[in-house]
Amino acid sequence: MKKYYHIITYGCQMNVHESEKIAGILCGLGYENTEEINSADIVVFNTCCIRENAENHAFGNIGMLKKLKAAKRDMIIAVGGCLTQQMGKAENLHSKFPYVDIIFGTHNLNKLGEMILQKKSRKKAVIEIEDSEGIICEEDKPFRTSYPNAWINITYGCNNFCSYCIVPYVRGRERSRKSENIIEEARSLIAGGYKEITLLGQNVNSFANGTEDISFPELLNKIASIDGKFRIRFMTSHPKDFSEELAQVIAGNSKICKAVHLPVQSGSNAVLRAMNRKYTREDYLKKIEILKKYIPDCAITTDLIVGFPGETEEDFNDTLTLVEKVGYASAFTFVYSRREGTVAAKMPEQIPEEISKRRIMKLIELVNLQTRVMSSKYVGKMVEVLCEGVDEKTQKYLGRDEYGRMVYFDSPTPVIGEFLTVRIDKANGISLFGEVTGD
């Protein structure tokens, strides 16, 4: 009799890839994927606690399974990820949702299979949250679901301790995988037909710091030297560690996308200092100058936070002027989200919601204006697009160019996983629409 699993993922690409690792574990136990949660024999929530809304969303969805669990007593509900790794959250989760069968953390995801077998042999819930953060499992066998894209973790954890961020507390201190294992994984994926490799880490630029292994720019060079037609992306890149050498490597390798995500968070030195970002506005702009020197057409994207504790109107205006000066291809914009356990959560002068809302709307308006102007420059041009799938709403094929712009187009034949030349006929915000050519 077939057994089915259903995974619900919250958060960033890091979590998407970790859900692929969870799927690999479940496939190894004989489970198959189902999109219908009512048909699942095991439901896994892979949670995120970076922002409050993701945490609330997870709690809401777990609560909605109470009736289904009552009707299907043999169904296993497992909850893992950043949320459960927070101090006291596992106990709170178990108290609030006693029908949850397994609770695990970020440091022992690889032991989920053992926990499932353990749960099947007893009635009591299995709750295992490990404090150890030094182990890196190199034997992961993810069930990849993002073809033609593939994610590769190169680092885990973070040493930066930005005052607003919970990541170092739930994912531990930074540790790097061995470069030879990363390169071999990339080589295997490319041989298997994957066309875009994204290297993941909280701060990829500090890869192998404090070890005798190769640096991040050297790692990029090694992967780019693998035979085959494919692209390389990476995220996230911390500005304080972004080097001229890295810019030179990107510029010198056609396989490395000319797109860099360089989160600035704020344009105000006072706010950056309070955030513990370890660079100034001027430092950041020097990195932008380096990027534009070596890669004039680089698509630079960023993260921006408004409403950080103590942010004045002048501070906010500093962010606006920085955005105007850099000219981002796009930006992820956020209202500061207070996270218990972080330094910023205890700061005085928490910004009133109405002020934060006004500021975020003004920032979004500026970012969207820049995005529309950049998109309009594509019209009439030919771009190379890697087809990633089909848009459910429009039923058009979709894919990105190397700069990260999403392109929608029609094709009479299946083209997922292929590089295509598309003539751009129309731009709509961040999205482009075009027609496949024979060129």
Using one digit for the tens of pLDDT, what is the confidence trace for 341-394? 899 999 988 899 999 999 999 999 999 999 999 999 999 999 999 999 999 889
Phi, psi of 383 (to 5 degrees): -130, 150
CA dihedral 313, 316, 321, 325 (to 10 degrees): 170
Phi, psi of 217 (to 5 degrees): -60, -40
- For residue 438, pLDDT beyond 90: no
Six-digit token pair at 66?
């109470």
Using one digit for the tens of pLDDT, what is the confidence trace for 40-94? 999 999 988 777 777 888 889 999 999 999 999 999 999 998 888 887 888 989 9
Cis peptide before 148 (omega within 30 of 0): yes
CA–CA distance, 180 with 165 (Å, rounded to integer): 31
Where does the pLDDT of residue 139 fall: very low under 50, low under 70, confident under 90, or very high at 90 and above? low
CA–CA distance, 265 with 280 (Å, rounded to integer): 11
Q: Which is nearest to 126 in space by CA: 152, 105, 140, 155?
A: 105
Residue-level pLDDT at 133: 65
Q: Residues 11, 44: contact at Cβ < 8 Å? A: no
Residue-level pLDDT at 439: 60
CA–CA distance, 361 with 333 (Å, rounded to integer): 10
CA–CA distance, 422 with 158 (Å, rounded to integer): 39
Residue-level pLDDT at 132: 63
Residue length, the chain? 439
Six-digit token pair at 216?
């991040």
Residue-level pLDDT at 52: 72
**Average model confidence (pLDDT) for the chain?**
93
What letters, b where the CB count within 10 A reaches 16 and e where it falls short, cover 333-364?
Answer: bbbbbebeebebeeeeebbeeeebeebbeebe
Q: What is the pLDDT averaged over residues 6-24? A: 88
Tokens 């043999």 — which residue? Answer: 74
Residue-level pLDDT at 5: 95
For residue 204, give the DSSP letter: G
Using one digit for the tens of pLDDT, what is the confidence trace for 160-217? 999 999 888 888 889 999 999 999 999 999 999 999 999 999 999 999 998 999 999 9
Using one digit for the tens of pLDDT, what is the confidence trace for 290-303? 999 999 999 999 99
- For residue 408, pLDDT beyond 80: yes
Using one digit for the tens of pLDDT, what is the confidence trace for 267-314? 999 999 999 999 999 999 999 999 999 999 999 999 999 999 999 999
The strand pairing partners of 299, in sequence order, are 259
Find the DSSP H helices in 310-394.
Answer: 313-326, 353-376
